[in-house]
């Protein structure tokens, strides 16, 4: 029997690519979902549109000027949504008692505190913001276990693995009959480019992903394959899988979203059109199924599915992520923080594309071993890594 109770949802990062897709799915099921709060950094126009359509109780703008503008525009439009401002309000609308589910779709470390607040408050946490889990790892999973939160992956690969793993895996990976988790990767826009040609790649070229339309940061991460590296670490924490059991295979069509290989030779995969509304709808309704707006997969039309092994010389960021996962402690947090700084510098035209990996590698080498057993320790590791990464970026800056 479907649960007839309306689910109240907060969307962190509502104006982004995942946020917009989430509202698209929610808008198809007004009898199941109501929007409690929408949040954004500073995109006023999109937020006015979203508040007018979905009438949330709260809208949070992190930027104070944007909050002022939004308040005035919503008042003029006769919309009763209350506008809050500042980063602290993100955690408030994520943990509020009225909220059932939180879509964590802020990009980068900025999403850590509100996502952790949702986990600590025992919400159904729909996790798109992989950087939050990469940064806080054990701390985040402990918070989920302590509060009884329900953590569901939105990242298409992890959602596919979640759908393909046996329920016993997390309790006892050794006895579950799983041999490997196979994360698929598109290989991004430079899968076939000569490595020398990558020297002069521009931000727009890096963001032109062949299969997915996404925010600019994750698009660059997909081009360098740091996205897949972060996903290996994400899979480790989400499912409790050791690094040696997680493999990456390039699959340019992005139709198989990931697979689980069992010791009896069975491989279970989840397939679908590359559209994030599928994992979003899956996680929102789990364990039920709802219409996501995504059309049926036409395998005959696609006709060919191909696979390649990733070339670690072309994609050094993938090797760095495995290295950080194996090193443990703060290394994944350092990797993610250095990557955010390097990608931002690249997008601003201050760092060459090929230097992104160099900056991350140099930062990992320079940051000593740190424990990350509290939110404060995670934030300190993040801040320290950014400082070192910025120094490394300046040394390699294109303007010098
Ligand atoms: P995006 O850039 O399109 O949107 C980011 C959202 O976060 C926006 O609403 C923005 O206002 C908000 N935001 C940005 N900086 C902020 C800050 N400092 N404080 C508060 N809010 C801030 O990004 P996206 O592509 O939607 O990705 C969001 C997250 O989901 C990322 O972690 C990404 O890795 C993950 N993800 C995205 C996709 C995808 O298809 N786009 C797929 C899998 C995972
Ligand atoms: Mg993904």
Q: Please tell me if the CB atom of residue 89 comes closer than 6 angstroms to any atom of ligand 1.
A: no
Concatenating the DSSP letter of every residue in 119-146 gives HHTT-EEEE--HHHHHHHHHHHHHHHHH
**108-141 exposure pattern, b = at least 16 Cβ within 10 A, e = fewer:** bbbbbbbbbbbbbbebbbbbbbbbbbbbbbebbb
Average pLDDT over residues 190-207: 92
Taking the CA of residue 41 as reference, the ligand 1 atom at the shortest distance is 11
Residue nearest to atom 4 of ligand 1 (CA): 16
Q: Please tell me if the CB atom of residue 209 comes closer than 6 angstroms to any atom of ligand 1.
A: no
**154 is an annotated ligand-binding site residue:** no
* Range list of β-strands (E), 186-333: 246-250, 256-262, 267-271
Residue nearest to atom 9 of ligand 1 (CA): 13
Residues with CB under 5 A from ligand 2 (ion): 155-157
Give the mean pLDDT of the chain.
95
ipTM, 2 decimals? 0.99
**Domains of the chain, CATH where assigned:** 5-152 (3.40.50.720), 154-312 (no CATH), 327-399 (1.10.1740.10)
Per-residue pLDDT of 255-299, as tens digits, reads 999 999 999 999 999 999 999 999 999 999 999 999 999 999 999
Distance 21 CA to ligand 2 centre (A): 15
Per-residue pLDDT of 293-337, as tens digits, reads 999 999 999 999 999 999 988 899 999 999 999 999 999 999 999
pLDDT band at 399 (very low <50, low <70, confident <90, very high): low
Per-residue pLDDT of 205-224, as tens digits, reads 999 988 878 999 999 999 99
Per-residue pLDDT of 12-35, as tens digits, reads 999 999 999 999 999 999 999 999
pLDDT band at 4 (very low <50, low <70, confident <90, very high): low
Concatenating the DSSP letter of every residue in 322-379 gives HHHHHH-TTHHHHHHHHHHHHHHHHHTTSS-TTHHHHHHHHHHHHS------SHHHHH
Query: Residue 342 and residue 301: Cα distance in Å, rounded?
Result: 39
The verdict on pTM exceeding 0.90 is yes
Per-residue pLDDT of 127-178, as tens digits, reads 999 999 999 999 999 999 999 999 999 999 999 999 999 988 888 888 889 9
Q: Quick one: pLDDT at residue 247?
A: 98
Distance 106 CA to ligand 1 centre (A): 4
């Amino acid at each position: 029997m479907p649960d007839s109770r309306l689910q109240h949802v907060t969307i962190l990062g509502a104006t982004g690519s995942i946020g917009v897709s989430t509202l698209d799915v929610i808008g198809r099921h007004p009898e199941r979902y109501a929007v409690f709060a929408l949040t954004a950094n500073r995109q006023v126009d999109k937020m006015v549109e979203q508040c007018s359509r979905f009438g949330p109780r709260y809208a949070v703008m992190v930027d104070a000027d944007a909050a002022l503008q939004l308040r005035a525009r919503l008042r003029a439009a006769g919309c009763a949504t209350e506008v809050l401002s500042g980063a602290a309000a993100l955690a408030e609308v994520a943990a509020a008692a009225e909220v059932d589910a939180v879509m964590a779709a802020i990009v980068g470390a900025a999403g850590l505190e509100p996502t952790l607040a949702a986990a600590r408050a025992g919400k159904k946490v729909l996790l798109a913001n992989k950087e939050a889990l990469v940064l806080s790892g054990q701390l985040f999973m402990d918070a989920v276990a302590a509060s009884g939160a329900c953590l569901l992956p939105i990242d298409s690969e992890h959602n596919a693995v979640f759908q393909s793993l046996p329920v016993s895996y997390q309790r006892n990976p050794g006895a579950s009959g799983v041999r490997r988790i196979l994360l698929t990767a598109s290989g991004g826009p430079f899968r076939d480019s000569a490595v020398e040609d990558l020297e002069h790649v521009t931000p727009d070229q890096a963001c032109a992903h062949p299969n997915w339309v996404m925010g600019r940061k994750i698009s660059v991460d997909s081009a360098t394959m740091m996205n897949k590296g972060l996903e290996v670490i994400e899979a480790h924490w989400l499912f409790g899988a050791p690094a040696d059991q997680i493999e990456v295979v390039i699959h340019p069509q992005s139709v198989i979203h990931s697979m689980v290989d069992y010791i009896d030779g069975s491989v279970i995969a989840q397939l679908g059109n590359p559209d994030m509304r599928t994992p979003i709808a899956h996680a929102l309704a789990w364990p039920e199924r709802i219409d996501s707006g995504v059309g049926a997969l036409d395998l005959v039309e696609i006709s060919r599915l191909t696979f390649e092994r990733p070339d670690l010389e072309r994609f050094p960021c993938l090797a760095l992520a495995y290295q950080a996962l194996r090193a443990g402690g703060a290394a994944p947090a350092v990797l993610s923080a250095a990557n955010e700084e390097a990608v931002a510098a690249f997008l601003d035209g201050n760092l060459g594309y090929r230097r992104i990996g160099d900056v991350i590698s140099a930062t990992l080498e320079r940051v000593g071993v740190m424990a990350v057993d509290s939110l404060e320790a995670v934030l300190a590791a993040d801040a320290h890594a950014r400082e070192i990464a910025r120094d490394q970026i300046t040394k390699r800056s294109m303007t010098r």
